[in-house]
Amino acid sequence: MQFRLKALVAAATLATGGYASAITISGLTLPDGAQIHAGTVYENIVTAPGQTLAGYGTVGQINGMPLSSYCSGCELTFTFGGYVVQTITSPTDVTFSGGWINFYLDGSPDFNKDTAASASDGTLFLTLAGRGLTSSNVNTGSGLLQGSGNGVADVDFTGNANGNTVGAGAVANAFFNTNTFAGADVLFNTSYTIYNNGSPLCPSGAPCVVGSADMHAAPIPEPETYALMLAGIGVVGLVAKRRRASR
Tell if the pTM clears 0.75, that is, is over it.
yes
Which pLDDT score is estimated for 150?
Answer: 93
Percent of the chain residues past pLDDT 90, beyond the cut: 53
For the cut 90, the answer to whether the pLDDT of residue 31 exceeds it is no
Give the tens place of pLDDT for each residue, 64-83. Answer: 899 999 998 999 999 999 99
Name the helix (H) or strand (E) containing 18: helix 2-20
In the chain, domain spans: 1-24+221-247, 33-220
For the cut 50, the answer to whether the pLDDT of residue 13 exceeds it is no
| 85-115 exposure pattern, b = at least 16 Cβ within 10 A, e = fewer | beebeeeeebbbebbbbbbbbbeeeebebee
Give yes or no for a contact between 164 and 154, defined as CB atoms under 8 angstroms apart: no
Percent of the chain residues past pLDDT 70, beyond the cut: 77
Please give the Cα distance from 238 to 233 (Å, whole number). Answer: 9
Which pLDDT score is estimated for 3?
Answer: 29
Nearest to 175, CA basis, from 25, 31, 44: 25
Which pLDDT score is estimated for 21?
Answer: 65
Which pLDDT score is estimated for 205?
Answer: 84
Which pLDDT score is estimated for 245?
Answer: 53
Which pLDDT score is estimated for 89?
Answer: 86
Please give the Cα distance from 153 to 102 (Å, whole number). Answer: 11
Question: Which band of pLDDT confidence, cut at 50, 70 and 90, is reported for residue 25?
Answer: very high
Please give the Cα distance from 103 to 195 (Å, whole number). Answer: 25
Sign of CA dihedral 196, 201, 203, 205: positive
For the cut 90, the answer to whether the pLDDT of residue 5 exceeds it is no
Give the tens place of pLDDT for each residue, 150-207. Answer: 999 999 999 999 999 999 999 999 999 999 888 999 999 999 888 877 788 889 888 8
